[in-house]
């Protein structure tokens, strides 16, 4: 790996883990402190889902403008094309199952690492983000799909997400 490649990978990892995760954490912590646990947590989840839906909508619109079918295969081929930041700054990968479902398994994620670096409270708030973001994205991309988070990197040592058709 060239020096430039290492530098770019580290920049992505630092941006997600050192900037993005602390923003989510500090906003979440303030909401919980201000509104107390139940209401603060509910508002965090609501906002994470809103954020995720905006990403799913952007992906759907981009695919529509390119004439691409709204399918899991197209969604994941974009993520698995070798040029995605997920192929570059995350460790693990995406694979298609024989039944047409897709599974992501990550043993390194800069976002999860960023939450972990903030301590147990960071992990707790990070879990709220990670538990809801991917499903919100895919549901807005296509409401017939669902993303189930089966394992947590910071809790289980592996992030495992399972995407499938809901009908």
For residue 79, the domain's CATH number is 3.30.1380
Instruction: Indicate the number of domains in the chain.
Output: 1
What is the arithmetic mean of pLDDT over 23-38?
Answer: 97
For residue 166 the two structure tokens come to 């809901």
β-pair type (91-96, 159-165): unpaired
Q: 40 is in which domain, residue-wise?
A: 3-165
Question: Whole-model pTM above 0.85?
Answer: yes
pLDDT in tens, 105-157: 999 999 999 999 999 999 999 999 999 999 999 999 999 999 999 999 999 99
- Per-residue model confidence (pLDDT) at position 50: 98
- Per-residue model confidence (pLDDT) at position 88: 82
Please identify which residue in the block is written with the tokens 């139940």.
Answer: 38
SS percent in the chain: helix, strand, coil, step 5: 65, 15, 20
- Least Cα distance to 117 among 8, 11, 13, 33 occurs for 13
Q: Which range is least confidently modeled, 39-53, 76-90, 97-111, 139-153?
A: 76-90
Enter the DSSP assignment of 91: E
């Amino acid at each position: 790996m060239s020096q430039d490649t290492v530098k770019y990978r580290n920049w992505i990892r630092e941006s997600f883990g050192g900037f993005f995760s602390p923003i989510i954490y500090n906003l979440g912590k303030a909401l919980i402190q201000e509104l107390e646990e139940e209401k603060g947590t509910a508002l965090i989840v609501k906002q994470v889902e809103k954020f995720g839906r905006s990403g799913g909508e952007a992906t759907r619109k981009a695919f529509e403008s390119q004439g691409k079918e709204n399918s899991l295969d197209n969604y994941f081929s974009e993520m698995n094309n070798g040029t995605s930041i997920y192929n570059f700054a995350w460790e693990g990968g995406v694979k298609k199952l024989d039944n047409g479902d897709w599974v992501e398994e990550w043993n390194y994620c800069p976002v999860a690492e960023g939450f972990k670096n903030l301590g147990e409270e960071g992990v707790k708030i990070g879990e709220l983000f990670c538990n809801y973001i991917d499903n919100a994205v895919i549901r807005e991309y296509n409401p017939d799909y669902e993303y189930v988070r089966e394992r947590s990197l910071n809790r289980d040592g592996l992030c495992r997400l399972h995407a499938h058709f809901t009908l």
